Structure 1
């Protein structure tokens, strides 16, 4: 079994639910895939890992809207 970095214990205080975390990381990973520069200090070869690192480092945040997450 692989150890996931960053851990869920580090990620959950940054968001209001696991659903929010998944949506936020997926959207950011797609942006990185489309050519957006990685904002994290620790760069990985995996876009989802980079997105999660950005969440832990407070480089990206979310805003809850009536019809979704921005």
Structure 2
């Protein structure tokens, strides 16, 4: 890997291990359709891992300073999704029961 250099990346992230985890998570986000933080025509790399590293090198992607807060937010979002699915399922069952009675 020539660009970005490991030295420039380690100026942004304090350890190689943290860098690997951060790049991996960002690459997965990009794989799932997240918007790039750099304009697409400015990327040197065509692969998402390289793009994630480029975003880290310019300082656009950083380690979350409060991961517990983020985990709590994600947990709540998942609970809300599950509750919404349960309500939709209950409404569908109620509609089916109502149509059967008619």
Structure 1: tracts of 5 or more residues without a match? none
State the structure with more CA Rg: 2
TM-score where L is the length of structure 2: 0.57
Partner of 1:21: 19
Q: Taking structure 1 as reference, are residues 66 and 30 closer, same or farther at Cα in structure 2, changes over 3 Å only?
A: closer
Misfit runs of 4+, over 6 Å:
none
Which has more helix, going by share of residues?
A: 2
Say which structure, 1 or 2, has more relative contact order (CA 8 Å, 6+ apart).
1
Q: Relative to 1, partners in 2 of residues 1:15 and 1:9: Cα closer, same or farther, differing over 3 Å?
A: same
Number of residue pairs aligned between Structure 1 and Structure 2:
66
